[in-house]
Amino acid sequence: MTRLAVIDFETTGISPEQGARATEVAIVLLEHGRVVDRFQSLMNAGVRIPSFITQLTGISNAMIAEAPPAAQVMAEASRFVGSLPMVAHNAAFDRKFWVAELALAGLDAPQAYACTVLLSRRLFPHAPSHKLGLLIDHLGLPRAGRAHRALADAEMAASLLARMQDELRRQWQLEASPALLMALQRCSKAAVPGWLRQQQACAPVQTRQAAVLGAV
DNA sequence: TGCCAGGCCCTCTTTAGGGCCTT
């Protein structure tokens, strides 16, 4: 099993294509089910934070005013991650901001992404909700700090990922390598049980999102 | 003024619609 970088962004909105910018990033490195390193920073992208975002995250304009420039933070984050495979809860969201903020800093984003929403829908199909906090509660995992702050959410996503790796090991005798996680999220949901039982090649059905997120 | 994401996945589907998930 190799290292994975679990990331979470706090942002001013839902899409960088609509002008939203990142306000905070956190990354935890997970190895053998344990967090072995952490990176966290607020970042100043020179934009104002809507009041409802401050209510949601607790991140204010005053906090951002004292934060380092976004490009500097993203360069440090990029060095911290290197070429590790990345993981996020609803990775389509975080990957968009990872790519957009690195591009604004003049940096590439070659990392593949796995998505804990896609994986949890496959491994825990009967969970009442796949929201991060509710999944954490459903699985009996500990909450980590204030929800909707980047480090707390990244820690919880890492805890969820470790729980899924443990599930694959105990229930299916599968080593949850990055390559296996990428293959699992590429499987159509209906094909997952047979694939896990037989450890065969994934069914030819491949979701568009998984194709975008990439492979190891 | 009103609208402004987008991909997954289920279903009363597939020539579609709507809830979920992220801030």
Average of per-residue pLDDT values in chain A: 89
Question: Quick check: A97 CB within 7 A of strand B?
Answer: no
Q: Is the CB of A10 under 7 A from strand B?
A: yes
pLDDT, tens digit (0-9, with 9 covering 90-100), for A12-52 = 999 999 899 999 999 999 999 999 999 999 999 999 999 99
Could you tell me what percent of chain A has a pLDDT over 90? Answer: 74
List of domains in chain A: 3-215 (3.30.420.10)
Among A89, A88, A131, smallest CA distance to A112 is for A88
pLDDT confidence of A6, banded at 50, 70, 90? very high
The nucleotides of chain B lying under 7 Å from a protein CB are 4-10, 20-23
So what's the pLDDT on residue A216?
38
pTM over the 0.85 mark: yes
Q: Is A192 helix (H, G, I), strand (E, B) or coil?
A: helix
**Which nt has its C1' nearest the CA of A209?**
B7
Contact A58, A37 (CB under 8 A): no
Residue A57: nearest nucleotide (C-alpha to C1'): B23
If you measure CA to C1', which residue is closest to nucleotide B19? A129
Lowest-pLDDT choice from A62-66, A74-78, A201-205: A201-205
CA of A101 to C1' of B5 (A): 17
Query: Whose structure tokens read 């344990």?
Result: A34
